[in-house]
Amino acid sequence: MFAGAPQYLISGLTVGATYGLTALGFTMIFNTTGIINFAQGEFVMLGGMLAVVLQKAGAPLPVAIMLAVAVTALVGCLIERGVIRPVGRTAPVNLVIITIGISILLRGAVMLIWGKDTFALPPFSGSAPLAILGAAVQPQSLWVLLITLLLLVALKLFFSRTIHGKAMLACACEQKAAALMGISVDRMAMLSFGLSGFLGAVGGAILTPITLTSYDVGVMLGLKGFAACILGGLGNPFGAAAGGLILGVLESFGAGFVSSAYKDAFAFIVLLALLFVKPTGLFGGPKSDRV
């Protein structure tokens, strides 16, 4: 019965890494601007789709991925500059609707340009599975976990060592005070959208060899990413990454041990139960955020 456990764990971690990366993107923007960006899943989709399109157009895989990531980060910046900033101060729920509008636009544009089909990307280093603890692992899964880990370390360094990182943290704590200290809150907001586009796109590009991609994969990923954020405690980047991995493992164990039909329901029931006991997530602070 438990023979499958290592396999479930590995596949859960791989899928969970997707959720975690999406959740990290959510956290970047939320921390700096207080916005829940419902277009976050679209960043992941863009990263994957652009990588596919560029690779099909003849670019070598690493170039295609780097370009895809750069373009998506740019799209993130443009969204902040073109839509979020002009809107200025408004009710958070209005910003939610605006980001929903953005996600519809991005999804629609990709659909119209590249169609409704699903696409694949070749894995980075072959597809011969490795055996780890009795589980068969795609080499790409290791890439995903490794890159996720690297990104986490890089983020940690960014926030603790660089002036921009520290400035973003300051915005997260107190916008007014940050502005008084001479930090441009607008620029930090733009940076956070760019960074979150970057994170999303990296996720999309490294996962597409495993999960395939199409214009509409962002909806589900956005949803799961948000769930991962909440599970880990909104605003905590490490909570977000951990939340993603936990959610992925829950689904996979749910499918393996409970019922594959109700695996998503199983994951959400656990999430709800957790929220009822701990209303601000696993690693969330005691303070609840604004609506």
Partner 1 sequence: MGLFRKNFGLLAFAAALGLAPLALPNDYYINVLILCCFNALIVMGLNLLMGYAGQVSLGHAAFFGLAAYTTAISTATLGLPIPVGMLAGVAVSAAVAWLLAVPTLKLHGNYLAMATLGFGIIVSIVFNEAVGLTGGPSGFVGIPRLKIAGFTFTSDKAYYFLSAAVLWVATLVSRRVIGSRTGRALRAIHVSESAAQAMGIDIARHKRFVFVLSAVYAGVAGTLYAHHLTFVAPSSFGFHFSVQLLTMVVLGGMASIWGAVAGAFFLTSLPEFLRMFEEVDILIYGGLLIACMMFMPSGLAGGAQAIARKLKAGVRRG
Partner 2 sequence: MMLRLLSVVAALVLCAGQSLAAEPIKIGAVVSVTGPASFLGEPEKNTLEMIRDELNAKGGLLGRPVELILYDDESDVNKAVLAAEKLIKKDQVAAVIGATTSGSTLAIMNKFPAAQVPLVSMSAAEKIVNPVNPWVFKVAPSDRHAVGRILKHAQAKGYKKIAILTVSDGFGQAGREVLKELVPAMGFTLTADEVYGPKDTDMTAQLTKLKDAAPDAIICWGTNPGPAVVARNRAQLGMKTPLYMSHGVASRKFIELAGESAEGLMLPAGHLIVASQLPDSQPQKVLLLAYTSQYKDKFKGDVSPFGGHGWDGLKLVAKAVETAGSDKPAAIRDALEKITAFPGIGGVFSFTDKDHNGLDANAFEMVVIQGGDWKILK
Q: Which residues bind partner 1 (CB under 8 A)?
A: 36, 83, 86-87, 90-91, 93-98, 100-105, 107-109, 111-112, 219, 223, 226-227, 230, 234, 261-262, 264-265, 268-269, 271-272, 275-276, 279-281, 288-291
Q: Which is nearer to partner 2, 4 or 34 (CB)?
A: 4
Task: Give the integer Cα–Cα distance in Å for 69 and 73.
Answer: 6
Structure tokens at 119: 């696409």
Q: Which among partner 1, partner 2, none contacts residue 115 (Cβ within 5 to 8 A by kind)?
A: partner 2
Structure tokens at 214: 């199409």
Q: Which is nearer to partner 2, 41 or 281 (CB)?
A: 41
Q: Which among partner 2, partner 1, none contacts residue 3 (Cβ within 5 to 8 A by kind)?
A: partner 2
Q: Which among partner 1, partner 2, none contacts residue 11 (Cβ within 5 to 8 A by kind)?
A: partner 2
Neighbours of 204 (CB within 10 A): 34
Query: E-assigned strands of the chain?
Result: 130-132, 135-137
Structure tokens at 50: 């652009």
Partnered with residue 135 across adjacent β-strands are 132
Q: Which is nearer to partner 1, 50 or 230 (CB)?
A: 230
For residue 107, the minimal CB distance to partner 2 (Å) is 10
Task: Give the integer Cα–Cα distance in Å for 37 and 80.
Answer: 11
Q: Which among partner 2, partner 1, none contacts residue 268 (Cβ within 5 to 8 A by kind)?
A: partner 1
Structure tokens at 70: 């750069």
Give the max Cα distance, the chain: 61
Q: Which among partner 2, partner 1, none contacts residue 125 (Cβ within 5 to 8 A by kind)?
A: none
Pair 230, 70: CB distance under 8 Å:
no
Q: Hey, what amino acid is at 60?
A: P
For residue 62, the minimal CB distance to partner 1 (Å) is 32
For residue 44, the minimal CB distance to partner 2 (Å) is 11
For residue 16, the minimal CB distance to partner 2 (Å) is 10
Task: Give the integer Cα–Cα distance in Å for 157 and 141.
Answer: 24
The residues that touch partner 2, with contacts defined as CB under 8 A, are: 3-4, 7-8, 10-12, 14-15, 18, 111, 115-120, 127, 129, 136-138, 207, 210-212, 214, 216-217, 220, 252-253, 255-256, 260-261, 263-264
Q: Which is nearer to partner 1, 18 or 280 (CB)?
A: 280
Residue for token pair 């990263």: 47
HSE of 12, CA atoms in CB hemisphere, 13 A = 24
